[in-house]
Amino acid sequence: MEFLKRTEEELLLLDAVDRFIEKRIKPLREAYNDVPLPKSVARQVLAELAEFGYIAGTAPESVGGYGLSNVMQGLLTERLSRAFPGLAGTAFIHSAMTNRIAMAGSKKQQDTYLQKMLNAEMIGCGAITEPDVGSNTADVSTRATRTEDGWSISGEKVWISNGNISDIASVVARTGDGKNGLSRFLVERKDGYTSRDIPKMAMNEWSTATLSFDAKVPDWRQVGDEGKGLQITLVGFQTARAYVAMLSVGIAQACLDLAIAYAQEREQWGKRIAQHQMIQEMIADMATLTDNARLLALRGLYLVDQGVRCDIQTSMAKGYATEAAIDVASKAVQIHGACGISSEFPVERYFREARLLTIPDGTTQIQKLIIGRGLTGLRAFN
């Protein structure tokens, strides 16, 4: 399996990242325990992560990227998520948005935004979901209306990752009727949007916000052709799903490591609990789930690197890995006994964090419908 092979240079990068995470990221996780990361802190740490290829790392060096493969960027994502899932989510979203401008933005969009995003002077987000539009992306109702020299955009978006710390949003808005009536626009906060964080059960370091748009943008901010907004979004989902899978793999691996360490220390019935067969069974199941999830995600990222259609494979990865992480985190809690549900032990936080990821970028049910559609050739959803 080619995607499991790493070059000498890639191994050196992973090693450097491990040292950076140990020194810089782990203390940050302790400092921000389920509270929003202040924008200044997010800016600073995203800029530091960019030095390791975390921000648009797959973009070519000619436009400021690192020329990494998606497989490699996925491995970076797993490592960051293992240490600090909320920050990994923040970096993944900002990177995806930066990468889109690097790979598909117009010359003017690249000249205006790319450098500022690569060094996190501007933080990005992608705004699709609305109060009445979740799984069915095609129903977006935020309107973009033509003005003399551009577009007027009005509507409300919800659950937008990085929303409250964002300076710029890639917004899906309606320019016409039906599925071919959606387009994408780059909207700066100063053009006219406000935000409010939505509190959630975990990962509050990772902003998810309501954005209210009453904005005017010039023509050159349109991304891609008019009417292609849904298509651009669906292609973006194909890749993003493999990255969300890697966020979950990071959480699962962290839980597995913590559970093994605890089981090797804790004694009951005169021996370490790792010597009880049912504890070993849980650890074996956790390791198998985590490895399966990682392999599915890396295969998906490898296919993205090959430039082939791989919606079935990345949906398998996303659906499987996010559910597996919940199972692994739950078993980690079980192995810790009562300590597992104490906020003084780290598995409690990972358990809540794992629960979030079955929802964004298509719920588990939507992933299954995509897989079913691909295999049968028949749509069970519109």
Ligand X SMILES: Cc1cc2nc3c(=O)[nH]c(=O)nc-3n(C[C@H](O)[C@H](O)[C@H](O)COP(=O)(O)OP(=O)(O)OC[C@H]3O[C@@H](n4cnc5c(N)ncnc54)[C@H](O)[C@@H]3O)c2cc1C
Give whichever of 73 and 367 is closer to ligand X, judged by the CB atom. Answer: 367
CB 120, min distance to ligand X, A: 17
Quick one: 65 or 362, whose CB is closer to ligand X? 362
Query: Minimum CB separation from ligand X for residue 360, in Å?
Result: 4
Please, are residues 47 and 54 in contact by the beta-carbon 8 Å criterion? no
Q: Are 109 and 223 in contact (CB under 8 A)?
A: yes
CA dist., res. 72 & res. 297, Å (int): 12
**154/187 Cα distance (integer angstroms):** 11
Contact 353, 202 (CB under 8 A): yes
Tokens 């021996």, located at residue: 271
Residue number closest to ligand X, CB atom: 134
Closest-CA residue to 347 (of 276, 209, 254, 261) = 254
What does the CA dihedral 122, 76, 254, 355 come to, rounded to 10 degrees?
Answer: 50
- In the complex with ligand X, the residue whose CB is nearer, 332 or 356, is 356
Q: Which is nearer to ligand X, 318 or 336 (CB)?
A: 318
Contact residues toward ligand X (CB under 6 A) are 93, 125-129, 134-135, 159-161, 208, 356, 359-363, 365-366, 369, 381
Other residues' Cβ atoms within 10 Å of the Cβ of residue 186: 24
**Residue closer to ligand X (CB basis): 109 or 137:** 137
Cross-strand pairs, 183: 173
In angstroms, the Cα distances linking 241 to 179, 255, 317 are: 22, 21, 7
For the bound state, the minimum distance from the C-beta of residue 54 to ligand X, rounded and expressed in Å, comes to 17
Give the residue with the Cβ less far from ligand X, 73 or 302.
Answer: 73
Nearest distance, CB of residue 381 and ligand X, angstroms: 4
Please, which residue, 160 or 325, has the CB nearer to ligand X? 160
Please state the closest distance from residue 191 (CB atom) to ligand X, in A.
Answer: 18
> Residue 129 is encoded by which pair of tokens?
């979901």
Residue 340: which of 262, 224, 247, 284 has the closest Cα? 262
CB of 159 to ligand X, least distance (A): 4
Cβ distance to ligand X smaller for residue 208 or 313: 208
Q: DSSP characters for 145-195?
A: EE-SSEEEEEEEEEEEETGGG-SEEEEEEESSSSGGGEEEEEEEHHHHEEE
Residue 6 C-beta: closest distance to ligand X, Å: 30
Smallest gap, in angstroms, from Cβ of residue 297 to ligand X? 18
